[in-house]
Structure 1
Amino acid sequence: MTTSPNFLVIGECVADVVRADGVPDRVHPGGSPANVAYGLARLGRAATLLTQLADDAHGRLIRAHLEAAGVTVRAEAVVRTPSAVVELDGEGRAQYAFDIGWTLGTPHGVDLLGPDAPGYLHIGSIAAVTEPGAAAVLGVIERLRGRASVSYDPNVRPALMGERAGAVRRVERCVALSHVVKASDEDLAWLYPGEDPESVARHWLGLGPAVVAVTLGAAGAVALTADGAREQVAARPVRVADTVGAGDSFMAAFLHARAGGAPLAVCLAHAVTAAAVTVSRPGANPPSSAELAEALAR
């Protein structure tokens, strides 16, 4: 497979209304796929986001945020920009309550098969499994999979996933279509209660991906490959402001390093370092290439 350096990310934008005791609400641009596109652009990658936005205050905030980093935004109009109330506990861990739909139609404004077709396609979160828009996402994968590297992050949101067995089927369908998959240990605990994360990763490798990476919170991250390789890295010590966007920063940095031809261990090191930078400051605020290089040097 030959790839161009361009990334296409498909998925939702969400206005994260961050709420914590004793401080006013803060609104941050969010949405897992949007965060990944933003993180890629911050690292110098050409990234296009295919999404849905309204012409409202939240939508304008999100578009300006993405475009300021260099993301090309291709947004289908909707009545209201999706939002989520993010409740932080005393350790900065986030719980979400969503007001969101996903109704993406036939993609437009993106070259899927011509000379400017992307070499990398990232999908995930709500948009990959929520109908009716998920059908459009899967249609793009089917058109691009033979010529682009496909990555997927389920970013499980239990309140939006429906019953577990159906959610597992939908997630595994996306896993089978992907070359690179990342999930958190919390994602896997909800999808496969009681199962060891590495056992699930090996199960997923059997469905088709070349690489499955699992984030393990304070224990760092592990990645397994279809040819039997295994790498694990420790988490970087950091004072946590909140965990919003940490997994998305991990994903963006992992894809950035992999696209540059880095070995698996280096991809993981970049990813956990980017996540550490992100959790050290409020909101989904991933590092620039200079910030990541500085953090890796430390």
Structure 2
Amino acid sequence: MTGGPQGVLVLGEALIDLVPVAGEPGLLRAQPGGAPANVAIGLARLGGQAAFAGTLGGDGFARTLERWLTVAGVELGLCGRSDRPTALAVADPGEAGNGYHFHLQDTATFRLPDRTADVARFGAVYVGGLAAVVDPAARAVLATAHAATRHSLLVVDPNVREDRTIGPERSLGRLRELCALAHVVKASDEDVAWLWPDRDPDESCRRLAGEGRLVIMTRGARGSTAYVHGAAPVSVPAVSVEVVNTIGAGDAFMAAVLTWLSTTGGWERALSPARAVAMLEFASLVAASVVAQTGTEPTAPAAVGLPGGSMRPCAGS
């Protein structure tokens, strides 16, 4: 069973994204997805130890998801099982980003198992995605987050989603609560603006970091910034690539951050400016590998310096 000081417990949903096919109006392609599942896949492909604690259903989509996770090397021993169907997310890409319309009700996807007793076996616990706000999963996510604050590094990615099936006031409150518990917060500038609309996103990140957190804000084509308690923020530009797809880029960035932090020997969050820059550069390269292709699975850079002078080879090389 995956675990240990470098292992990451990833709690949340694995679902099916229905994505428009370029040049084929009205045609949608079924693609495995869900922010937590994408993060688990990214971790495994980057050489990390990922245990996925979602719930897989009893339909053909669930079998597709299981194959996808297993082939990537994700541990599924803590994954729940159900005879209910798999949740669907209909993607609606646009110039302002990716929108989604969700089919979530009475699915297996959000009936998460109780894994609070397993948290202490992992160096870090990731929570985020729809499971953080959709019942009954949200209750399991919050309980696991509380357990993680006592035993592991709690990492939160508040993927804010708008849809008629998700109550905005309650969901934003739940995400703010998770961010308040977190040791590490990674969020887009849009997420931060949604969560704290009365403040500039930069100010919100400084406040979160001022309470002892490592905060990472992504800005799409404008790069990313790391906020460390007691130090000035540091930023790196986005990697320039020809954009093919943006679905999953943020999850790949998150997986890269987790991979990088796990190599420091203790999940350090009080990073020096130089180490914060190195982390952002690595994550930006990994995210660019998703943006430059179809699909959501990242590829590690051929040779990227990681903490301690180690090098991580390109996946599949």
TM-score in same-fold range (> 0.5): yes
Residue 111, structure 1, aligned to residue 115, structure 2: no
Contact 2:188–2:219, Cα closer than 8 Å, also in 1: yes
Question: 1:28 aligns to what?
Answer: 31
The count of aligned residue pairs is 286
Contact 2:158–2:187, Cα closer than 8 Å, also in 1: yes
Choose from 170, 177, 187 the match for 2:174.
170
Question: 1:243 aligns to what?
Answer: 246
Deviations 1:64-118 (Å, cap 9, x if unpaired)?
01110100121332511111111234x694221111252324339x7334xxx11
* Paired AA for residue 209 in structure 2: L
Contact 2:53–2:112, Cα closer than 8 Å, also in 1: no
SS in 1 for 2:13: coil
- Counterparts in 2 of 1:183 and 1:78: CA distance versus 1, 3 Å: farther
Question: 2:199 aligns to what?
Answer: 195
Percent identical across equivalent pairs?
36
- Counterparts in 2 of 1:92 and 1:291: CA distance versus 1, 3 Å: farther
- Counterparts in 2 of 1:92 and 1:173: CA distance versus 1, 3 Å: closer
Which of 134-143 and 176-185 deviates more? 134-143
Choose from 141, 144, 148 the match for 1:140.
144
Choose from 274, 279, 282 the match for 2:294.
282
Deviations 1:174-224 (Å, cap 9, x if unpaired)?
012111101111212333336322111123235x45211110011100110
Contact 1:155–1:183, Cα closer than 8 Å, also in 2: yes
Question: 2:282 aligns to what?
Answer: 270
* Paired AA for residue 94 in structure 1: N
- Counterparts in 2 of 1:92 and 1:143: CA distance versus 1, 3 Å: closer
* Paired AA for residue 46 in structure 2: L
Question: 1:77 aligns to what?
Answer: 82
Question: 2:14 aligns to what?
Answer: 13
Residue 256, structure 1, aligned to residue 259, structure 2: yes
Residue 179, structure 1, aligned to residue 186, structure 2: no
- Counterparts in 2 of 1:196 and 1:49: CA distance versus 1, 3 Å: same
* Paired AA for residue 43 in structure 2: L
Q: Supply the distance in 2 between the matched residues of 1:14 and 1:209 (Cα, whole angstroms).
A: 34
* Paired AA for residue 162 in structure 2: P
1:204-215 equivalences under 5 Å are: 204-206=208-210, 208-215=211-218
Deviations 1:12-69 (Å, cap 9, x if unpaired)?
1110111145324222110000000110001111110000211211111111011101
- Give the deviation of 1:132 after TM superposition: 2.2
- Give the deviation of 1:291 after TM superposition: 7.8
Contact 1:185–1:215, Cα closer than 8 Å, also in 2: yes
Contact 2:20–2:29, Cα closer than 8 Å, also in 1: yes
Q: Supply the distance in 2 between the matched residues of 1:130 and 1:225 (Cα, whole angstroms).
A: 31
Runs of 5+ consecutive residues of structure 2 not aligned to the other structure? 265-270, 305-311
* Paired AA for residue 172 in structure 1: R
Q: Supply the distance in 1 between the matched residues of 2:227 and 2:148 (Cα, whole angstroms).
A: 24
Runs of 5+ consecutive residues of structure 1 not aligned to the other structure? none
SS in 1 for 2:5: coil
Contact 2:59–2:85, Cα closer than 8 Å, also in 1: yes
Q: Supply the distance in 2 between the matched residues of 1:268 and 1:254 (Cα, whole angstroms).
A: 8
Question: 2:267 aligns to what?
Answer: none
Q: Supply the distance in 2 between the matched residues of 1:253 and 1:13 (Cα, whole angstroms).
A: 19
Q: Supply the distance in 1 between the matched residues of 2:119 and 2:226 (Cα, whole angstroms).
A: 30
* Paired AA for residue 12 in structure 2: G
Deviations 1:109-144 (Å, cap 9, x if unpaired)?
x7334xxx1111000011122222212122222223
- Counterparts in 2 of 1:289 and 1:40: CA distance versus 1, 3 Å: farther
What is the TM-score when the length of structure 1 is the normalising length?
0.88
Deviations 1:140-159 (Å, cap 9, x if unpaired)?
22223222111000111021
- Counterparts in 2 of 1:124 and 1:85: CA distance versus 1, 3 Å: same
SS in 2 for 1:232: strand
